[in-house]
């Protein structure tokens, strides 16, 4: 029975890898076709030198962050969640918290097949709702723009990430406070001392993870977890 | 002169967004089917779907604000497309600004020069395309590595995953303190984070006292929206002191 379930799990994950890659390759092709279509429509192509200069100013940092995000988030999001999450974007501010919260509510582990399924469901729902909200927002722009861009509402949107991670931290830190203390103290000290690093927070995620895992390893070896 | 709000641009955007919606629906269908096969509680899954949808609204509105901000220079369709697929608010704005400055343009004005627009479009697209490529190439290997750790010692495997979560959360908690050296106003994000954490604690306490499971399902959206709402009086209060 156990063997049967394991085989099924393997088959399911393999299937997800298979169709996940197909969907992603088609998506990538479509994404690349967008600027191609704009160029054909406008009858203009970018000059190689300008394109290279523009890319050099963003690619080194964003490709590095992209690689780091893949290493960090793939284990958290599972197979289906990763393929979908990396195509639909907005991982840190939306997809990853959605998946973590859904798995927490369902009481499933991220590396289990149940976790894999719940993470995929959360990311899919989140992607669909985001698209609908943006579409409705653009359609009703004349009506909602004064409210959204009002001075009164500015602090609410400026503080989205603190409001998000404050709640999320209570859930995860309270479960593992022994592991959480060292990376939290390190990160707070780091950002207080070097505020300019705020723009590179994505690069520092694996640093936090390495500290947390190192501390966890020591505590685990000493039977303190 | 390039019209960034033309029917052609809207059509292009609609086609790509329709594809991504189709992909989301397909993954959702496959996952729900698998959940049924695994005998998971479908009622609980439905509740989780609703709470995820509620949670998504505030960050989605914030993404909409990004679309509005970029629309002044790039029109609506292209930022709408970029922020619905692959992109993230922080990335798209800086990529567009960098590409515009290379061309001697600025995002504070509408981009009407086709040469400038296509260069920005290519830079924004190529600058972030690497992640899905890496998922296709290495996703399975990364997953295999995690499975190996778990197979060797399942308890350590769970702790390892907790370490990953906490690494991410600690980095984003740390960045909230980045402006504290600028004075009291720099503490506003910290106060908002604490307010959100307190709301989450209240939700936990209410869940236990009232024995109401639904509070747990909606605790994150409640703490997120509560934190955002409280940021308004917090900011007003701090501004009266500085």
When CB atoms are compared, the residue of B121, B173, B225 closest to A169 is B173
Say which residue, A26 or A57, is predicted with more confidence.
A26
Specify the pLDDT at position A3: 46
Specify the pLDDT at position A202: 79
Question: Which residue ranges of chain B lie beneath pLDDT 70?
Answer: none
Closest-CA residue of chain A to B183: A192
Count of positions (residues) in chain A: 225
With beta carbons less than 8 A apart as the criterion, state whether A45 and A39 touch: yes
pLDDT band at A2 (very low <50, low <70, confident <90, very high): very low
C-beta atoms of B194 and A166 within 8 A:
yes
Chain A residues in contact with B53 (beta carbon < 8 A): 125-126, 129
Domains of chain B, residue spans: 7-128, 176-241
pLDDT band at A1 (very low <50, low <70, confident <90, very high): very low
* Burial class for A178, CB neighbours closer than 10 Å (0-12, 13-18, 19+): exposed
When CB atoms are compared, the residue of A19, A28, A210 closest to B167 is A210
Alpha-carbon distance of B4 to B110, in angstroms, equals 9
With beta carbons less than 8 A apart as the criterion, state whether A165 and B176 touch: yes
Task: State percent of chain A over pLDDT 90.
Answer: 64
Instruction: Look at the block and give the residue holding tokens 């509005």.
Output: B68
Chain B residues in contact with A94 (beta carbon < 8 A): 56, 59-60, 63
Interface contacts (A, B; CB < 8 Å):
516
Chain A residues in contact with B181 (beta carbon < 8 A): 192, 195
Maximum pairwise Cα distance, chain A: 67
Specify the pLDDT at position B165: 87
Closest CA to B126 of B84, B90, B96: B96
pLDDT band at A4 (very low <50, low <70, confident <90, very high): low
């Amino acid at each position: 029975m156990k063997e049967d379930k394991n085989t099924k799990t393997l088959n399911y994950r393999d299937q997800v890898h298979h169709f996940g890659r197909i969907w992603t390759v088609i998506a990538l092709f479509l994404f690349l076709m967008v600027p191609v279509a704009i160029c054909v429509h406008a009858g203009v192509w970018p000059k190689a030198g300008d394109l290279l200069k523009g890319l050099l100013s963003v690619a080194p940092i964003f490709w590095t962050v992209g690689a780091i995000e893949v290493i960090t988030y793939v284990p958290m999001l599972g197979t289906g969640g990763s393929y979908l999450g990396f195509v639909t974007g907005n991982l840190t501010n939306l997809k990853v918290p959605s998946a973590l919260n859904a798995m927490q509510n369902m009481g499933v582990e991220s590396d289990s097949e149940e976790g894999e399924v719940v993470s995929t469901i959360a990311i899919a729902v989140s992607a669909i709702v985001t698209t609908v909200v943006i579409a409705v927002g653009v359609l009703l722009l004349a009506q909602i723009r004064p409210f959204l861009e009002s001075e009164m509402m500015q602090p609410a949107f400026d503080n989205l990430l603190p409001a998000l991670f404050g709640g999320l931290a209570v859930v995860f830190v309270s479960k593992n406070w022994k592991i959480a203390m060292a990376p939290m103290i390190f990160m707070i000290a780091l950002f207080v001392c070097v505020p300019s690093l705020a723009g590179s927070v994505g690069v520092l995620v694996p640093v936090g993870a390495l500290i947390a895992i190192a501390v966890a390893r020591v505590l685990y070896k000493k039977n303190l977890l | 002169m390039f019209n960034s709000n033309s029917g052609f641009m809207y059509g292009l955007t609609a086609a790509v967004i329709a594809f991504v919606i189709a992909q989301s629906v397909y993954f959702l269908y496959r996952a729900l089917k698998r959940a049924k096969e695994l005998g998971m509680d479908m009622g609980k899954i439905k509740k989780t779907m609703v709470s995820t949808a509620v949670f998504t609204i505030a960050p989605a509105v914030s993404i909409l604000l990004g679309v509005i901000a970029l629309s002044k220079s790039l029109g609506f369709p292209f930022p709408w497309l970029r922020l619905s697929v692959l992109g993230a608010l922080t990335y798209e704005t800086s990529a567009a600004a960098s590409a515009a400055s290379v061309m001697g343009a600025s995002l504070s004005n509408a981009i009407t020069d086709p040469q400038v627009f296509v260069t920005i479009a290519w830079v924004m697209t190529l600058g972030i395309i690497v992640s899905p490529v890496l998922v296709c190439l290495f996703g399975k290997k990364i997953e295999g590595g995690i499975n190996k750790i778990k197979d060797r010692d399942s308890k350590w495997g769970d702790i390892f995953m907790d370490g990953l979560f906490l690494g991410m959360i600690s980095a984003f908690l740390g960045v909230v303190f980045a402006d504290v050296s600028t004075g009291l106003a720099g503490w506003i994000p910290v106060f908002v984070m604490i307010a959100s954490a307190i709301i989450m604690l209240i939700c936990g306490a209410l869940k236990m006292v009232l024995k109401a499971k639904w509070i747990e399902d909606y605790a994150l959206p409640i703490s997120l929206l509560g934190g955002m709402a409280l940021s308004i009086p917090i900011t007003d209060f701090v501004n009266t002191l500085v």
